[in-house]
Amino acid sequence: MRHIALIAINFFREQRWPILVLMSWVFLLSVLGLVVDLRKASDDVLFIFKQGVGYGILFTIFFGASAIHNERKTRRILAVLSKSVGRGQYISGLITGIMFAAAIYSFAMGVTGTWVLGASGFPAEHLWLLMLCVMLVCLLCASLSVLFSTFLNPLFATMATGIVLGLPAVAALQFRSRWAEVVPAYSLIEPLMKASSGSNEPVRGPLLMLALGEAVFFWVCAFWIFERRDIAVAVD
């Protein structure tokens, strides 16, 4: 566990600038809370909030898709894996680091959202339930993008993650198909995307469990593949 924590904290530290950029959404939301009449502009503020959450999920994919590639390209991975660190621990450290960043961001968005959206009548309990869904979607994105990054470059890993997460969304939007729940990222984020100051869709509990199970499955697949990869060869 200590190795995983060390790698996770190290990842977070190395990615501190993109995380700081991401945090500007929290800042923007806070400024809106101070300068806008929240009762009149509640839907606009909710729209900004949704955008912020969306960017958080996108950043999670970018972090995951590029983490291994960057470490291999800079050859820093060699010094880390020359220590008493297993490949599984390394992958787990990366995913934990990404989730650490996602958790801090989601928490900051949740706190700011409770204040800003709460002032316009949005129920705080429902908001935190939605943030839990966002966290699970981030976990799903992180483990899937890290899985693809074990054998694809960041561009293709991002695309592959987008396809696996996006196809169910297309199925849901175009055909209202049950296939949308196969990889339930969209199904989990849908209640937030469709939320308005007037109505809130409920979150389906089984989807949370399914997302968690799939994230663990992708996680295990990622380190099974990474265990068998040559990491010291040129990545380009």
Partner 1 sequence: MLPLLEFEDISKEYNRFLGSRPVVALEHFSLQVETGEIFGFLGPNGAGKTTAIHLAMGFMRSTRGHGRMLGKPFGDARARSRVGFLAENVALYHRPAEQLVRFYGALNNLKGRVLKNRAREVLEAVGLDQEARRNVARFSRGMQRVGLAQALVNDPELLILDEPTSALDPIARVKIRSLLLSIRSAGKTVFLSSHLLSEVEMVCDRVAMLNKGKLVKLGKTSELLQSGQETEIVARGITATCFPAAVETDGVVRFTVPVAQQKFALERVWELGGEVVSVNPVRRSLEQICLEVTGQQPEKSALGVGG
Q: Which residues bind partner 1 (CB under 8 A)?
A: 2-3, 6-7, 10, 13-14, 74-76, 78-86, 89, 228, 230-233
**For partner 1, the closer CB: 125 or 230:** 230
Shortest Cβ 228–partner 1 spacing (Å)? 7
**For partner 1, the closer CB: 13 or 178:** 13
**For partner 1, the closer CB: 75 or 178:** 75
**For partner 1, the closer CB: 11 or 186:** 11
SS3 204: coil
Shortest Cβ 154–partner 1 spacing (Å)? 18
Q: Which residue has the tokens 């054998």?
A: 151
Is residue 120 within 8 Å of 45, Cβ to Cβ?
yes
Considering just the CA atoms, what is the radius of gyration of the chain in Å? 19
| Cβ-Cβ contacts under 8 Å for 187 (sequence gap 6 or more) | 168, 172, 180, 181, 204, 207
Shortest Cβ 227–partner 1 spacing (Å)? 9
Shortest Cβ 59–partner 1 spacing (Å)? 21
Half-sphere CA count of 147, side-chain side, radius 13 A: 20
